Amino acid sequence: MKKKLFLLLLALALIVVLVQQIGWTPVMNSLAQLTLVDLVWLGLLQLLTLTATAKAWHLLLLRQGAQCRFSLVLACQLAGQWVESLTPSSKLGGEAARVYLLKQHSTLSYSQITASMLVSKLLSLVPFLLICLILLAISLWYWSLPWLVYVSFAGLFSVVFLLCAFVIWPQAADQLSSRWVKRPDSTLAKSLSVLSRVANQSRQLMRGGLPASPIILSTFVWLGYPLKVALVTWSLGLPTPWLLISLAVFVAYLISMLPLLPGGLGSFEAGMTLVLTLGGFNPAEALAISLTTRLFTFWLPLLLSGLASLTFFLPKHWNKYAEPLDSSRH
């Protein structure tokens, strides 16, 4: 807990240093141009994003034959985001919390839930990876990006490749177990057995082709982020170059996925500010854009996810998630 708090304070300190280096006055002057209407629209867009992300996971659970309430899936999704936002992770830190909570409040097995979460993450990362690839290829003609961006892209590609291999080749865990594990009751053998079950469940979810609806939802979620930043620039009275804004958003998310600081704090703001500055915005304008973006894409979800987490600790007569409410068709 102390380590998490230290890393969070370190991330906040980096943001403060970044603002101090650019200058508090010009940054605050830019932020002062935001109106209440602008804030409401940005908040609604982010709420739509959170809902669509949970719905993509919910559709995969329904595909497995489970009858889960969407409100439960949304609460588990948000609670997992609380963990994800406070731990250094490549957008994978909250998955264990989501799986655990859904298992405690449903009749699904751990392997079923883990498989649905794994496929959901894969179907979310694939559109993100393709969008990043297109934007980075186009950006080679206009800007010289730091090497860290390409390292982050290579790391993300490796993660997606491994997830795809895990889903496509579910027999790998069984083959490893038969070749290298001598004791069937060992911890390694049990772990490989669990992996094998999850892999087979994931494979079943992908049977008949890629689930179209979760992919479409995930793609729209990612395409919505440049729209939010465009709304921020418009609200601040700044130009809205779509290519630059899109590149800044996805480069910032690429860098923030490196498991360095909680929720990518500091790295996201620095990455977006750098790209916007390379594209012609002055540093104060670029930082104001990145700070406003993070207000709605990090701090608002952090608040909502904290509230969602608290609902799981309410007394049973108040907590509608206290008892398993879903059943399986199979």
Judge if pTM exceeds 0.95.
Answer: no
**DSSP state string for 40-106:** HHHHHHHHHHHHHHHHHHHHHHHHTTB---HHHHHHHHHHHHHHHHHS--SS-TTHHHHHHHHHHTS
275 touches 145 (CB < 8 A)? yes
> In a structure prediction context, what are the per-residue pLDDT tens digits for the chain, which is 330 residues long?
566 666 667 777 777 887 887 878 888 887 888 888 888 999 999 999 999 999 999 998 888 777 778 888 888 888 888 877 766 554 555 788 888 888 887 778 888 888 888 888 888 999 999 999 999 999 988 888 888 899 989 988 988 888 887 777 766 655 555 555 555 555 655 565 666 777 777 777 777 667 788 899 999 999 999 999 999 999 888 888 999 999 999 999 998 887 766 667 788 888 999 999 998 899 999 999 999 998 888 888 888 888 888 877 766 555 555 444 444 444
13 touches 261 (CB < 8 A)? no
Distance CA 103, CA 6 (A): 31
Q: Domain map of the chain by residue range?
A: 35-311
